[in-house]
Amino acid sequence: MTARPRIVLLHATPVAMEPVQQAFATGWPEAETVNLLDDSLSIDRAATPDLPEEMTQRFLALGRYAARIGADGVLVTCSAFGPAIDRLAAEMHVPVLKPNEAMFRAAIASGRRIGMLATFAPAVPTMAEEFTDFAAQAGTEADLDTLVVADAIDRLRAGDAATHNALVAARAPDLAGCDAIMLAQFSTARAAEAVRAAVDVPVFTAPEAAVARLRQLIENAGS
């Protein structure tokens, strides 16, 4: 591994890029981040309830390119491609991190009733399944209560981050009885400050948790 570990970020939407770059700047500025973006993936994923093999192959092609350019680790920033990420992780010889596993780990440590605010509805079934699997592996009976915030991601894609954040924060009190709240998508992380102002429970974001987890995995592997 080089002095500056090369972390390849696989994006299926450009709105995920800024939050994860901010998380690296704060949590792991020594890393060299490389962005691979194919936003047709999120467009096409939103149009189908399932993840077809053709789309999985497109996703895997990005991961294979990451390997060719010398990735020391891969972080996927879109939560709608869980099965494809599993296949990529089985192929690669460096850590491949799902968008949400680190956030799940942190949230479950806070209690059994976990809330989640999502803005990209097609990702919710995969995330819910991954959460259930992770909770079982962790030996906890944590329950997940998910709310999809209508129109928020459309406003963000149109450049209106302030309205996106306000819409997400407005739904947070509906989950105030939970032990923790997760912001499902990387793009939703930009609403964290507004959500934390709206509720008195811990609020976790995927970028912050993922950067910390990936740094731990790579530094432990190199020690």
Claim to verify: residue 87 and residue 106 sit in the same structural domain: no
**222, pLDDT greater than 80:** no
In total, the chain counts a number of residues equal to: 223
What pLDDT score does 1 carry?
A: 46
Q: What residue type is 57 in one-letter code? A: Q
Claim to verify: residue 48 and residue 84 sit in the same structural domain: yes
**211, pLDDT greater than 50:** yes
Q: What value does the mean pLDDT take over residues 193-222?
A: 93
Residue owning tokens 């010889």: 93
What pLDDT score does 101 carry?
A: 86
Q: How far apart are CA 194 and CA 47, in angstroms?
A: 30
Where residue 36 sits, what CATH number does that domain have? 3.40.50.1860
Q: How confident is the model at residue 3 (pLDDT cuts 50, 70, 90)?
A: confident
**2, pLDDT greater than 80:** no
Domain total of the chain: 2
Q: What value does the mean pLDDT take over residues 140-152?
A: 93
- Give percent above pLDDT 70 in the chain: 99
pLDDT (tens digit, 9 = 90+) per residue, 109-123?
A: 999 999 999 999 988
Q: How confident is the model at residue 223 (pLDDT cuts 50, 70, 90)?
A: low
pLDDT (tens digit, 9 = 90+) per residue, 86-99?
A: 999 999 999 999 98
Contacts of 129 (CB under 8 A, 6+ apart): 82
Q: Is residue 182 part of a domain?
A: yes
Q: Is residue 20 part of a domain?
A: yes
Q: What value does the mean pLDDT take over residues 79-88?
A: 91
pLDDT (tens digit, 9 = 90+) per residue, 30-66?
A: 999 999 999 999 999 989 888 999 999 999 999 999 9
Q: Which domain holds residue 106?
A: 101-205
- Ramachandran sector of residue 151 (left: φ over 0; alpha: ψ -120 to 50; beta: rest): left
Window from 5-19, 119-133, 161-175 with minimum mean pLDDT: 119-133
Q: What value does the mean pLDDT take over residues 149-176?
A: 96
Q: What mean pLDDT is reported for the chain?
A: 93
DSSP 101: H
Q: Is residue 27 part of a domain?
A: yes
Claim to verify: residue 82 and residue 128 sit in the same structural domain: no
Q: Which of 133, 119, 134 is nearest to 213 (CA)?
A: 134
Claim to verify: residue 57 and residue 115 sit in the same structural domain: no
